[in-house]
Amino acid sequence: MIVADADLFAGARWLHICGSSLSAGEKMREACYEAVRLAEGAGCLIAFDPNLRPELLGGEEALRQICAPILDVATLVLPSGAEAQVLTGTSDPETACQALLERGVQYVALKRGAAGCTIFTADEVVPVPGFSVDAVDPTGAGDCFDAGFVVGLIEQLPLEEVGRLANACGALAATAMGPMEGAAWRSEVDSFIGRRQ
């Protein structure tokens, strides 16, 4: 069995879990659960990108059960509209995001692709428009969005700026072929945002 090491989380502020890892088999899933337990014990916050693979997990109900241990402790969830609906069993993305907040999630970053994102908290709903780019390959764009969002929260930026940073990271990722090739340095992201203001 894969075992997480508690020392990995010393000094860490966030642990990010991706749903595709939960889909990679029972051993990987148990390792994710253990990592979350250890990270929480070290004072980390938990971010979760559902990145759902219902076909690998035996359908929507099985998927909800598998994701539940992560959702129960997540501070941040970063779903697409369809993923939010599947996770909550609701009929529209906005209702689904509210249901995640009611579950105890503090931030829901609803990904809307080229249209940007909408950030939901208990106190406000913040729509943040996307950036127009010549998209080549969306692979990895969601992961880059996630990274930008967490960085924005770490830096305690206003929520609109958090969303703008995340949108820029995702947009830039889509401009290159391959899952990692479009991951930009922070200076490149800031320059990109500056040119669009």
Q: Tokens 């907040």, residue?
A: 101
- Joined together, the tokens standing for residue 78 give 């970063």
Catalytic residue among 49, 123, 134, 143: 143
| List of long-range contacts for 181-190, beta carbons under 8 Å, 24+ apart | 181/140, 182/137, 182/140, 182/141, 182/144, 183/140, 183/144, 183/147, 184/144, 186/151, 189/148, 189/165
DSSP structure class, residue 104: T
Which of 105, 131, 139 has its CA nearest to residue 119?
105
> Any catalytic annotation for residue 123?
no
Q: Name the pairing type of β-strands 125-129 and 107-111.
A: unpaired
Residue positions annotated with a catalytic role: 143
